[in-house]
Amino acid sequence: MSGAVITGMIADMARWQGGARERLQAAALKRFAEQGFDGTTVAEIAETAGLTERTFFRYFADKREVIFQGQQEFERVFLAAIEEADGAGAPMAIVAKSLDAAALFFPDERRAWSRARQAVIDADPSLRERELLKLSSLAAAMSTALRARGIDVTAATLAAESGVAVFRVAFANWIAEVEHRSLAECLRAAFAELRALLPPA
């Protein structure tokens, strides 16, 4: 992805968003994309956003938090849907509802941000590790929430882990350059593909 494309996307995001937090996020992504995550200081991010370092630290504990802020809220969306699903649904149906709820967290207006964020993560090994651990922790929490509904541990783990795999694949498709489908549509397609991969014995 070229620098010009990223700058354009970030300008779109800034127009769509607006406050100090959003300006700092856009400035951070721009700098990370240009000079790497490790090679960027908080001072540079603040300068690019036309704000002070002090303002930066009012919103973020450190530069890594620009990338990972909202993680708890993200996880809560999945878990709340599992807790609130009606009746004694099949484990995978509950997981599908959970992923649909999470898709609402990523409207198409967020696609440019998510794409730029992922490019930064992909370029840095420590951010990649952090992102993998975030998704593993999500799968573990989903499994626990399924077990709290009386689903046995094997089914809960398999449903949660496969669900997160479906989410990862759908998300990667959603942020691909050529993709125009919504995340919800990408999720349905990925679920259908997993089903097709596992024909009845």
| 190 binding a copy of itself? (CB under 8 A) | yes
The number of C-alpha atoms within 13 Å of 187 and in the hemisphere containing its C-beta is 18
Q: What string of H, E and C letters represents the secondary structure of 109-170?
A: HHHHHHHHHHHHHHCCHHHHHHHHHHHHHHHHHHHHHHHCCCCCHHHHHHHHHHHHHHHHHH
Residue 181 CB, nearest distance to a copy of itself (Å)? Answer: 13
Determine, following the binding rule CB under 8 A, whether residue 90 of this chain makes contact with a copy of itself: yes
**Which bin fits 152, alpha (ψ -120 to 50), beta or left (φ > 0)?**
beta
Q: Is the Cα torsion angle 160, 72, 78, 196 positive or negative in sign? A: negative
Q: Does 1 bind a copy of itself (CB under 8 A)?
A: no
Distance between CA atoms of 103 and 48, rounded to whole angstroms? 31
Our measurement of the distance from residue 172's CA atom to the centroid of its chain's CA atoms, rounded to an integer in Å, reads: 10
136 part of the interface to a copy of itself, by CB under 8 A: yes
Is position 158 an interface residue for a copy of itself (rule: CB under 8 A)? yes
Cβ proximity to a copy of itself, 51 vs 169, nearer residue: 169
The binder of a copy of itself chosen from 141, 173, 179, 181 (CB under 8 A): 173
Q: Give the count of residues interacting with a copy of itself (CB under 8 A).
A: 31
| 121 vs 193: CA distance, rounded Å | 26
Question: Could you tell me the smallest distance in angstroms from the CB atom of residue 113 to a copy of itself?
Answer: 23
Q: Which of these ranges, 20-28, 68-76, 85-93, 97-105, lies near a copy of itself under the rule CB under 8 A?
A: 85-93
Interacting stretch for a copy of itself, rule CB under 8 A, among 30-38, 80-88, 113-121, 191-199? 191-199
**Smallest distance from a copy of itself to CB 56, Å:** 28
Q: φ, ψ for residue 4 (rounded to 5)?
A: -65, -40
Stretch that binds a copy of itself, among 21-29, 32-40, 107-115, 189-197 (CB under 8 A): 189-197
Classified as helix, coil or strand, 103 is helix
Which residues here bind a copy of itself, judged by CB under 8 A? 90-92, 129, 132-133, 136, 154-155, 157-159, 161-162, 164-166, 168-169, 172-173, 190, 192-195, 197-201
